[in-house]
Chain A
Amino acid sequence: MTLLDVTPAAAAPPAPKPGRVHRVRPFLPLVALAVLVALPYSTLSLPGIFEGPINSPGTLQLLAICLIFGGLAAGYDLLFGRTGMLSFGHALYFAAGVYGTDILITRAGLPLWQAALLTITGGTILAALLGAVALRTVGIAFAMVTLAFAQVGAILVARDFGGLTGGEEGLPLDVSGLPAGLVGVTNTVNLYWLALAYLTLVVFVVHRVSGSPTGRVLAGLRDDERRIGVLGLDPYRYKLVAFTLAGGLASAGGVVYVLIVGGASPHITSSELTLSLLVMVVLGGPGTRWGPVLGGVLYMYLDHRLTAFGTSDAVDNLPAFLSNPLSQPLFVLGTVFILAVYFFPGGLTSLAPRVSHLTRSLRSR
């Protein structure tokens, strides 16, 4: 029995019938991208879903954070869903991006582009070094080792060595040297587009890699590592490449995130964040084309909105044994996650084929 037998994605949908929908289908991602690009021009109000109209800075910031985490989850899926590596330390590279950029701009006074370049290079090298050690183990031991490395990051940040990170208080970003278009509430829309660009980049890279010969080797590693070894390929090298690439993508996400949030806070180094990434990928559907992105966006949205939902009157009026747990977003998300593992193992993206299967079998009666 292999340790990392990731559930295969839901069974392939039945052969597409020639029809109008299927001719348009390959272009749907482009349509979605166009809609997302145009979204800030909308003044639509969706009460209950967002607090203000879509083009208000608060809503745009929430959307931008959702998009960043969609990208992060897609990058994490390169490890988990596509290569079968269960890393519990992915938050470290994201945090390296956030704190690296923040420290280089705020403490060292570098311009944004230099700070971003240095941070992404540094994050990638860090991932290569730590991956080289951690990949000497496989399966669960690998998960524990990556978790331990990430914990060092959390300790370094929390103990505030050299007064660089600001410890528990975090480190607000010094915006004086930043380009004017990225500063201030009125420019949130630019940050939103930046987040969208990041998501697009990650999705593009991940899909290109998994469609390439390297991607087929990675999928082979997920299914049976020994087979790849027998073929004369070095599993260690391929896994290290995937690990390094995912780490670099995560640190790039950190660069965008620090601009959107305007500072770094220690909670992004916690192991809880990596666990959240895992939850996002599994909720969406590991190894699927759009599952991780959907999972990431939905998780972050729920995480933010459930806090508001938890303090709303409807919940406060419930008896205490219900309203107390419901006011904790992690309780709701953890429970949903457990139910998801049981009842739809392929994630959200596996629901569509299942539902269409159901409707077809109902119609044929």
Chain B
Amino acid sequence: MGTVILLALTGLGLAALYFLVASGLSLVFGLADVLNFAHGLFLGVGAYGTWWAAGNLPGASGDGWGFVLAVAFGVAAGTLVAILVELVLIRPLYSRTIEQVLVTVGLSLAGVALLQATWGADARPFPRPDWTRQVTGILGAQVPNGGLLLIIAAVLVLGAILAFLRWTRYGLVIRAGVENREMVTALGIDVRKAFTLVFAIGGAAAALAGALGGVYFGTVSPGQGGSLLIFAFIVVVIGGMGSVVGSAYAAVVVGLVQQFVNYYGTSGLGDICVVGLLAVVLLLRPQGIAGKVATA
């Protein structure tokens, strides 16, 4: 029993990580039709930003409120990079979708190389607050606190995004834009502002995933974002592009399948099962579980 609970909770921790990356990807894709390959870069910036701040920023450290400050710095850095990418690279190619995707591909290659040039290719130990190294006993399972932190953060982010989409004016514009962008533009609403906003939200969520993922894995390396990104893509497709709630469901399914099969089968088999799951979903329901709806 303890093993099952432990696997379920670590699986949910992984799911939380996927959700944080996938929610932004899904919104950007739903609204702007851009498959953002540079999303892994935002994650890397968040992770390295937090790592750098914990060592160099006055007041920030690897523990207590200092760590919260370091994470805030990392998230701010990731958000800033995301906004810059949208304004400088994506916006000039407005509605030229393929070229926008190509630019993010180039950026993902160059950005990861830049991280590698600055901090080296090897993984660096991540500053972890002491309590995240400990475990909590839940129903007889000793669950690492780092994973629990991720789950709590993902639930909070999910709630915040849904509240924003449901109850604010910009949320309304984004929801309507995902449904039918041409119509929203025809009504005289500037969708480009919504693009920037969605990039900022996605960048912040991905940067948070980078910072907390660093706590979860204990290290940070330039390639980390790229490997997470592929599973986040799978989550987005299974969940239905443009749907935040769909991403949440799909992230939970993918995280749990991966964790359980990797434990009870061979290591690596879980990753393959996830792709098998993707193929099955596509054959049965090509639009994903939730389709292209940015609401509940």
Q: Which residues of A contact B (CB under 8 A)?
A: 1, 3-7, 86, 133-134, 136-137, 140-141, 143-145, 147-149, 151-152, 155-156, 158-159, 161, 271-272, 275-276, 278-279, 282, 324-325, 327-331, 333-335, 337-338, 341-342, 345
Contacts and interface: CB of A to CB of B under 8 A. Distances in A.
Contacts of A334: 106-111, 113
Given A144-B234, A147-B230, A136 B283 contact: yes
B271 interface: yes
Contacts of A136: 282-283, 286
Interface residues of B, number: 47
25 contacts: A1-B95, A4-B97, A5-B98, A7-B99, A137-B237, A137-B282, A137-B286, A140-B33, A140-B35, A140-B241, A143-B35, A143-B101, A148-B237, A148-B275, A152-B272, A156-B268, A159-B268, A325-B114, A328-B113, A329-B113, A330-B109, A330-B112, A330-B113, A331-B110, A338-B103
- Which of B96, B117, B267, B271: most chain A Cβ within 10 A? B117
Interface in B35-52: 35, 37
Nearest to A339: B106
A243 B97 CA distance: 22
B272 A155 contact: yes
B101 A140 contact: yes
A147 B233 contact: yes
Contacts, number: 139
B60 to A, nearest CB: 24
Given A5-B96, A338-B110, 19 more contacts: A3-B98, A7-B99, A86-B98, A140-B35, A141-B241, A144-B237, A145-B278, A148-B234, A148-B275, A148-B278, A271-B226, A276-B109, A279-B105, A324-B118, A334-B106, A337-B105, A337-B106, A338-B103, A341-B106
Nearest to A1: B95
Nearest to B234: A148
A155 B271 contact: yes
B236 A144 contact: yes
A87 B233 CA distance: 14
A281 to B, nearest CB: 10
B119 to A, nearest CB: 10
Nearest to B117: A324
Q: Which of B101, B109, B266 has the most CB of A within 10 A?
A: B109
Interface in B12-38: 29, 33, 35, 37
B84 interface: no
Interface in B234-276: 234, 236-237, 241, 266-268, 271-272, 275
Contacts of B266: 159, 161
Contacts of A145: 237, 278-279, 282
A151 B228 CA distance: 11
Contacts of B33: 1, 3, 140
B156 interface: no
Contacts of B230: 147-148, 151, 271
A305 to B, nearest CB: 16
Contacts of A158: 268
A337 B109 contact: yes
Contact of B109 (A7, A279, A325, A342): A279
Nearest to A327: B117
B233 A330 contact: no
Nearest to A325: B117
Instruction: Choose among A6, A148, A333 the residue with the greatest number of B CB atoms under 10 Å from its CB.
Output: A148
Given A3-B97, A4-B98, A144-B237, A272 B278 contact: no
Contacts of A345: 99
A86 B37 CA distance: 14
A151 B235 CA distance: 14
B85 to A, nearest CB: 11
Which 9 pairs across A and B sit closest by C-beta, in order of nearness?
Answer: A334-B110, A159-B268, A334-B109, A331-B113, A337-B106, A328-B113, A330-B113, A324-B117, A338-B106
Contacts of B108: 275, 334
Contacts of A133: 279, 282-283
